[in-house]
Amino acid sequence: MNVFNKVKWVLGISLVFILILTTNLIDRQSFTIVRDAVQTIYADRLVAQNLIYGISVQIGQKELAYVTLPSNEIVATVSANNEQIAANIEQFATTKLTPQEEVVFKRLRQGLQELEGLESAVGSGTLLNDALTEKVASIRTHLDDLSVIQMQQSRLEVAESNRAIGSADLFTQLEIAALIVMAIAVQVIIIYTPRKEPAE
């Protein structure tokens, strides 16, 4: 095997290696995008939605206590609900919040603090049923808004992962076409023998 044939073989193998390396790097980036989107949907959206549901359940139990219990027993009864709500709020705060979510979440926290203040006033004998009802309605609105944001953000994450999958599919098709072209080019390089000029 002469030097020219060795160079042809090295060139052909190098082209295939470069193509495979490049496509691998592109595919890795696409799969990283999909993996991150799936993790975000779970960690920042599904968990957050579950926490919102938990807070809503606790608020419902508090509403039931307002209606069924005498005012002097409300504070003692709803304190367990307040502890669970506080735990859910703290866990929700650890999720990745969008700017819109931060605004609504801040309003929710403020509303919950005001509700606890109203509950303390009811416990001391002051009747504030209308104020409690209004505050609970406001809190429910904030919870609904957060729930809607979770769905919107989940849709965005799914769309992002679908774009990454679509791009991976496109690159896979391009890889196949490039591999075919490269295989033909390698065959031409290997099989081609330059014509020698006739000696005069």
- Of the pLDDT bands very low, low, confident and very high (cuts 50, 70, 90), residue 2 is confident
Q: Is the pLDDT of residue 125 over 70?
A: no
Domain definitions of the chain by residue range = 9-92+99-190
Segment 82-99, tens digit of pLDDT: 999 999 999 999 888 889
Percentage of the chain beyond pLDDT 70 is 90
Tokens matching residue 31: 């799969």
Q: What is the CATH number of domain 9-92+99-190?
A: 1.20.120
Question: What pLDDT was estimated at residue 7?
Answer: 76
Task: Find where tokens 């735990």 sit.
Answer: 87
Question: What pLDDT was estimated at residue 58?
Answer: 94
Cα–Cα distance, 65 to 74 (Å, whole number): 6
Q: Which amino acid is at 115?
A: L
The answer to whether the pTM exceeds 0.75 is: no
